[in-house]
Amino acid sequence: METIYDFKALTSKGKEIDFADFKGKVLLIVNTASKCGFTPQFKGLEELHQAYRDRGLVVIGFPCNQFAHQDPGSDSEIEGFCQLNYGVTFQIMKKVDVNGDDAHPVFKYLKSRTRSLLGSRVKWNFTKFLVAKDGKTVKRYAPTTQPERLKADIEAFLQEQ
């Protein structure tokens, strides 16, 4: 696979999303969890979604239960939690693995485009990947990086041709 646009994934409601539909957009892809110390970051992610969606930012949350089993609910329970507690309106996807043999292809791709202190592994919940309009350029952010700290990079990616 050459770009993020070569992939498909399922929403929390089971609808297939073709990432090719996002060509020319900037993507912020985050592995999320509902019972994590970083869960309040949903608020900041939603604020980014509201602030930049009309300019071409697409925020996508992929729930993951691989880290201390911090997202044990069903897909519908997770989506309801995000909406009720944080007013999330950005796309929540079907729960996936982000590491290991069963890692979702989107995360295999994102990890192949970035490195961290743990090599290509995702360290924890709320690791963030910002994908430029070309679908190839990817920046990776630690779980501790608050969403508002991504604004300068989002602005830069949105201004690229």
List the catalytic residue out of 4, 9, 28, 36.
Answer: 36
> Distances in Å between the alpha carbon of 7 and those of 21, 60, 107, 125, 129?
10, 14, 10, 22, 15
Q: For this structure, is 36 an active site residue?
A: yes
Residues 141 and 150: their CA atoms lie apart, in Å, by 9
Nearest-CA neighbor of 135 among 41, 14, 18?
Answer: 18
Q: What is the largest CA-CA distance in the chain?
A: 40
Catalytic residues: 36
